[in-house]
Amino acid sequence: MPYQVEFTLKPKHRGFHLITNEVIQYLPKLPQAGLLHLFIKHTSAGLSINENADPDVQTDLNAIFDRLVREREPYYTHTCEGVDDMPAHAKSTLVGVDVTIPITNGRLNLGTWQGIYLCEFRNHNTGRKIVATIIE
């Protein structure tokens, strides 16, 4: 039987943020085996799995994405919500809005150096809404 909970992450500044522990605090006791699916209900942020050991990864990812998708490009037509909005939509499309993680022995079965990232692409935001679905 699937279980679903929706929660709001604490607001974060623009960048890549490890949120594994924050996500876990909102989840019920996990089953012995199953899947956790996380979906972010926004079009200007994303979710990803990446390295959780070296904070330079977060800095480098932010630099890479800011070079890939620049602000204030003259060909943007969707500009009414600020210079960071259209680039945020494009970055969200590149990263994606969901991740699925196996559950094994009642724990998230992430790799040794893996963590869940909130990829925040706007300069200012309120907390991001996440839907977590646990499937046994």
24-38: string of b/e by CB count within 10 Å (b at 16+)?
A: eeebeebbeebebbb
Give the tens place of pLDDT for each residue, 91-106.
999 999 999 999 999 9
Give the tens place of pLDDT for each residue, 66-98.
999 999 999 999 999 999 999 999 999 999 999
What's the whole-model pTM score? 0.96
Judged against a pLDDT cut of 90, whether residue 125 lies above it is answered with: no
| Length reported for the chain | 136
User: What is the model's pLDDT at position 61?
Assistant: 97
User: What is the model's pLDDT at position 1?
Assistant: 80
Question: What does the block give as tokens for 45?
Answer: 């942020």
